[in-house]
Amino acid sequence: MKEALIKDKHKYTILKEGSISSPKGFKAGGLHCGIRRKKLDLGWIYSEVPANSAGVYTTNLFQAAPLTVTRESLAVENKIQAILVNSGNANACTGEQGMKNALEMRNHFSTSLGIPEYYVAVTSTGVIGEQLPIDKINNGIKQINVMDNQIGHFEQAILTTDLTVKHLAVSVEIDGKEVIIGGAAKGSGMIHPNMATMLGFVTTDALIAPDTLHAALKEITNQSFNMITVDGDTSTNDMVLILANGLAANNELSPNHPDWDTFMLGLEKVCEELAKKIARDGEGATKLIEVEVQGAAELETAQVISKTIVGSSLVKTAIFGSDANWGRIVCAVGYSGKMIDPLKVTVKIGQITVVENGMPQPFDEDQAKIYLQNEHIKIVVDLNEGSENAIAWGCDLTYDYVRINASYRT
């Protein structure tokens, strides 16, 4: 079954059982190699042919060894055929031995597949500062059969403190042919705007050149993954990779292609939904918070203010307590660093106007509390200074967040 959706006259279809391996020629899976006690901890994605690829990476200066190795792979031909991911150990701040281990992961996986090393990307997620149990990973690689598509196993294998898997696939029509875009992600803590702050993987059977693919990923990332925050911490490891193997046999996509907007809409849908799933699955979270800033003079202003609000610890705790404390919202607008006129600002919590033209409005506290008990909370701030809008996503801040992170290594 498929759920058809239309936006801006361009059609995409959500695949009900869609996954990272839904596009033609892609397979994925996961297994337990012993890094973690019982859970799947080694995942893989494989394309039948080398795929044009692009990536965006964390801005943290302490970048883990796998990021360096993956960048090196992409720098050769901008093509990737296989991705290997381990969870439970980040291989970050591990020095020369950590780099050797990341290279060994790439070497063993490429050798087992009979493909060049530079066609393999490696990623890791988990505890920082500990060396990889590389022997366990190498033994796990020996068990991988890339022709065995294990739907759902990859999504499970990449999780750390996540409570749920995160995946989606959509189909779009390009040149009269079906093109599928699939995605999977992990992320629950150390999530904050300014790429990458989690692991995200996107596959598509579209034909698209590497430079065009990179530009598309960067544009969509700024509207999706860069618009989420859980706790304000930017990770050492994380990245988003996109692979396009061209097996849909469409004419090469570019901004001049008549179906370019359709492709971009599908890519936006996949990335945005994955980003929202990460925000909702924030460590200890009970609610997804969506903040839309309207009427900004510049897009950057809307983006910065929306992210500032959703990242405010005081806003997040108020939402957790179902407290319509709008003062915390306007406070965040004020310290965002963007110059706006406070006397033009209107704030709504759901459909309830709490501030208009910078002044508090009478509202029913009981009605607001009932709304704030929902799992999806929307806050709208209208600056009334222009036509630019932006949306950011985050989650509430709960007692469980402290509990989870106080005992992360134990």
Report whether CATH 3.60.70.12 matches the domain 2-280: yes
Does residue 18 surpass a pLDDT of 80? yes
Stronger pLDDT, 397 or 408, i.e. the higher one: 397
| 197 flagged as catalytic | yes
pLDDT digits (tens, 9 = 90+) for 347-359: 999 999 999 999 9
- State phi, psi for 298 to the nearest 5 degrees: -135, 150
Alpha helix locations (H) across 161-298?
210-223, 260-280
User: What percentage of the chain exceeds 70 in pLDDT?
Assistant: 90
What pLDDT does 10 receive?
A: 55
pLDDT digits (tens, 9 = 90+) for 298-312: 999 999 999 999 989
Mapping DSSP to helix (H, G, I), strand (E, B) and coil, where does residue 290 land? strand
Stronger pLDDT, 236 or 224, i.e. the higher one: 224
Residue 7: pLDDT band with limits 50, 70, 90? very low
Which residues make Cβ contacts (< 8 Å) with residue 121, sequence separation at least 6?
53, 55, 69, 70, 73, 74, 80, 82, 83, 84, 106, 241
What pLDDT does 285 receive?
A: 76
Residue 190: pLDDT band with limits 50, 70, 90? very low
What pLDDT does 9 receive?
A: 46
Compute the distance between CA of residue 307 and CA of residue 293 in angstroms, rounded to an integer: 9
Classify domain 288-406 by CATH architecture: Roll (3.10)
Chain centre distance of CA 84: 18
Determine which one of 197, 212, 234, 262 is catalytic.
197
What pLDDT does 4 receive?
A: 41
Q: Do domains 2-280 and 288-406 have the same CATH topology?
A: no
What pLDDT does 283 receive?
A: 66
Q: Which two tokens stand for residue 281?
A: 């699955």
pLDDT digits (tens, 9 = 90+) for 30-68: 999 999 988 999 999 999 999 999 998 876 777 889 999
Residue 405: pLDDT band with limits 50, 70, 90? low
Q: What is the mean pLDDT of residues 261-289?
A: 87
Does residue 28 surpass a pLDDT of 90? yes
Residue 408: pLDDT band with limits 50, 70, 90? low
Q: Which stretches of 19-133 are assigned E, i.e. beta strand?
A: 26-31, 42-57, 79-89, 120-127
What pLDDT does 320 receive?
A: 93
Q: Which stretches of 154-312 are assigned E, i.e. beta strand?
A: 166-174, 177-186, 199-204, 239-244, 288-296
Task: Determine contact, residues 245/208, Cβ cutoff 8 Å.
Answer: no
What pLDDT does 123 receive?
A: 94
Residue 409: pLDDT band with limits 50, 70, 90? low
pLDDT digits (tens, 9 = 90+) for 148-159: 999 899 999 998
Domain range annotation of the chain: 2-280, 288-406
Compute the distance between CA of residue 147 and CA of residue 137 in angstroms, rounded to an integer: 19
Residue 5: pLDDT band with limits 50, 70, 90? very low
Here the contacts of 173-177 (C-beta below 8 Å, separation 24 or greater) are: 173/11, 173/259, 173/262, 174/206, 174/248, 174/250, 174/251, 174/253, 174/257, 174/259, 174/262, 174/263, 175/250, 175/251, 175/259, 177/248, 177/249, 177/250
pLDDT digits (tens, 9 = 90+) for 201-212: 999 999 999 999
Mean pLDDT, all residues of the chain: 89
Could you tell me which of 238, 240, 234 has the C-alpha nearest to residue 194? 234
User: What percentage of the chain exceeds 90 in pLDDT?
Assistant: 72
What pLDDT does 198 receive?
A: 76
Q: Which two tokens stand for residue 313?
A: 């610890």
